[in-house]
Amino acid sequence: MSTINLLNSHRSIRKYKHTPVSQSVLNRIIEAGGRASNTGNMQLYSVIVTREPDRLAALSKLHYGQGATAPLFLTICADVNRYHHWCRLSGCDEPYGNLLWLLSATVDASLFAQNICVAAESEGLGFCYLGTVLYNTAQIADLLEIPKGVVPVITLSMGYPDEEPDQCERLPLEGIVHEETYRHYSDQDIEEIHRLREEWPFNQEMVKLNGVRNLAELFTTKRYPRKDNEAISAALKDFIKQAGFSL
């Protein structure tokens, strides 16, 4: 399968076979991750591999039960700890505990993770990105014994698929591409860009089940409401400061 076809056939997998992922396959996909572009070739990321059953169960619980059948979790972190350690050994300053380098390391970790995802699918694996890594960051860090200077930013549940789910809808290109300068959207533009999402059968069913007027209301009152956003943001900010980053 071509790379374009592989990317365009992506589906999030939430049910996995019991088949373990071999060390050789895992090594290949992580090595592919390490070939991703990154800031100054500093490679400001780490990945924590979780396979032990009790720790898998505990980690799944912190992700609200997601990935419960996965034989493997990958927690990918923004990591300046390793660089600061090297700087200390070399008798140098440790200048990377600030917002610039938290963002740089997050970008590095994201590129690393996406390469891993593409490589994993090319090996017949499936995965699901768990955004809840940012909901219980401090607890995840405790479970995985993560030191200062390291922030979990991406979690992937992974394994051999035990389902063939439908693809989710995506925004059309005209909704996300801007030529030369940012094109400011009209009300009509916004309605047209989101029409497919509004008309997608699964989304319509979720709107009906939740008793809301439309998909936007589902997101803003049920999935990601303001009070939750603010509480999670405050906890995340506290963790980031404890991790040694000045904001």
pLDDT digits (tens, 9 = 90+) for 6-55: 999 999 999 999 999 999 999 999 999 999 999 999 999 999 999 999 99
pLDDT at 143: 98
Q: Is 69 a member of any domain?
A: yes
Task: Identify the domain containing residue 78 by its residue range.
Answer: 3-166
Overall average pLDDT of the 113-119 stretch:
98
Overall average pLDDT of the 189-210 stretch:
96
Overall average pLDDT of the 73-81 stretch:
98
Could you tell me how far CA 189 lies from the centroid of its own chain? 29
Q: Is 22 a member of any domain?
A: yes
Q: Are strands 72-79 and 45-50 parallel, antiparallel or unpaired?
A: antiparallel
pLDDT at 1: 82
Beta-carbon count within 10 A of 238 CB: 12
Reduce the DSSP state of residue 244 to 3 states and report it.
Answer: coil
Task: List the structure tokens of 104.
Answer: 């740089």
Q: Is 12 a member of any domain?
A: yes
132-135 long-range contacts, Cβ below 8 Å, gap at least 24? 132/62, 132/63, 132/64, 132/66, 133/63, 133/75, 134/232, 134/236, 135/64, 135/232
Overall average pLDDT of the 80-98 stretch:
98
Task: List the structure tokens of 9.
Answer: 């056939």
pTM of the model: 0.95
Direct distance between the N- and C-terminal alpha carbons of the chain, in angstroms, rounded to an integer: 44
Which residues, at least 6 apart from 30, have a Cβ–Cβ distance to it below 8 Å? Answer: 47, 116
Q: Is 184 a member of any domain?
A: no
- CATH number for the domain harbouring residue 63: 3.40.109.10
pLDDT interval class at 171 (50, 70, 90): very high
Overall average pLDDT of the 87-115 stretch:
98
Q: Is 205 a member of any domain?
A: no
Q: Is 15 a member of any domain?
A: yes
Please give the tally of structural domains in the chain.
1
Overall average pLDDT of the 135-156 stretch:
98
Q: Is 20 a member of any domain?
A: yes
Q: Is 239 a member of any domain?
A: no
